[in-house]
Structure 1
Amino acid sequence: MCRELRQRGRCIVFTNGCFDLLHVGHLRYLEAARDLGDFLVVGVNSDRSVRTIKGPTRPILPESARSELVAGLHCVDCVVVFDTPDPLPVIQRLTPHVLVKGADWPEDKIVGADWVRSHGGRVERIAVVAGYSTTSIIERIKKD
């Protein structure tokens, strides 16, 4: 699919995340990512990958539900679930024109940035929407 889009001159954008308990911060982030190109591919961490990153109590929602929710957003064109510690294999396979992460990630820590740049692409960092995070939502629910 990406090969055909590339041949038609379309700009492919890639981002990734856990997207556990989807919230407005996720939506605004993904909308901003989609605005950077013609086709947005979102990598969603597998359940095993989320547990490795976030700990044994996560994810709250299984990968099937998380990926379906993300795929249902108007700004998302394609979802890929990955089961590796990071999305580098997906990034290398897609070789997107634009790699996107939140501005809370230092550019030198963005996985795949060197690969994308070495293939003529660029890396963009999008401001995080203040007041929204899955962790803070979970903590608020536990407190209440």
Structure 2
Amino acid sequence: MKDNIVYVSGTFDLFHSNHLKMIRYGRGLGGTLIVGVSTDELVCSYKNPPAIPFEERISIVEALKYPDVVIPQHSLDHHDLVNKINMDIFVIGDDWLGKYDYLKELGVKVFYFPYGKGVSSSNLKKQIHKEYEKLIRASDDHEIPVVKK
């Protein structure tokens, strides 16, 4: 297990505790931990753009103590990456459950990290938007008080 190369995949937008838990989990699975951070272009190919630009997201992940290497992730297809980095283990959030089972045929162990009902960037964005809409409605009804420092 110490010789395993573990690849953790994610967008890591609005970095939160479940991101950290997933990366730390990956660290515990092998000797070398590589974290792939999805580029803005990749994320925009399947959902709304990230709130935090790629350069900032990758800098945040690079600053963590757990990864040995942090790389840009340009594709959701990891066929080529398996051979390029000699990947033994692949970790991704369970919101992608089943999507990467094809890696098992390439000899890679796949782990879907359980976010459960915890924090997710998508849920954070929804909550922020909901609170913003409340503020807009309140400002339409009343003048918003100025907060003095």
Q: What is the aligned counterpart of 1:24 among 17, 30, 36?
A: 17
Alignment check: 8 A CA contact 1:98 1:124 kept = yes
Opposite residue 13 of structure 2, the aligned amino acid is D
**Gaps in structure 2 of 5+ consecutive residues:** 132-149
1:122 positional shift: 2.1
What is the aligned length? 130
- 2:137 aligned partner: none
Structure 2: which amino acid aligns with 1:41? I
Kindly provide the CA deviation profile for residues 105-133 of structure 1, in whole angstroms up to 9, marking residues without a partner as x. Answer: 334x216614541xxx4222322253200
Deviations 1:4-42 (A, max 9, x none): xxxxx7221002111111100100111111100111101
- Could you say which residue in structure 2 is the equivalent of 1:46? 39
Unaligned ranges ≥5, structure 1: 1-8
| Counterparts of residues 101-140 of structure 1 (less than 5 Å) | 101-107=92-98, 109-110=99-100, 113-114=103-104, 116-117=106-107, 121-140=108-127
How far the C-alpha of 1:82 sits from its partner, in A, is 2.3
Q: What do the CA deviations read for 1:53-93 (whole angstroms, capped 9, x no partner)?
A: 212xx111111111110111121111110223434433331
- Verify the 8 A CA contact 1:25 1:129 in the aligned structure 2: no
Find 1:64's aligned residue among 50, 55, 58: 55
Q: 2:26 maps to which residue? A: 33
Aligned partner of residue 53 in structure 1, secondary structure: coil
State percent identity of aligned pairs: 28
Sort the Cα spacing of 1:70 and 1:87 in 2 relative to 1 into closer, same or farther, 3 A.
farther
Given candidates 4, 15, 18, the residue that maps to 1:11 is 4
Distance 1:137 1:130 in 2: 12
**Larger radius of gyration, structure 1 or 2?**
2
* TM-score normalised over the length of structure 1: 0.79
Deviant stretches of 4+, over 6 Å: none
| 1:23 partner letter | H
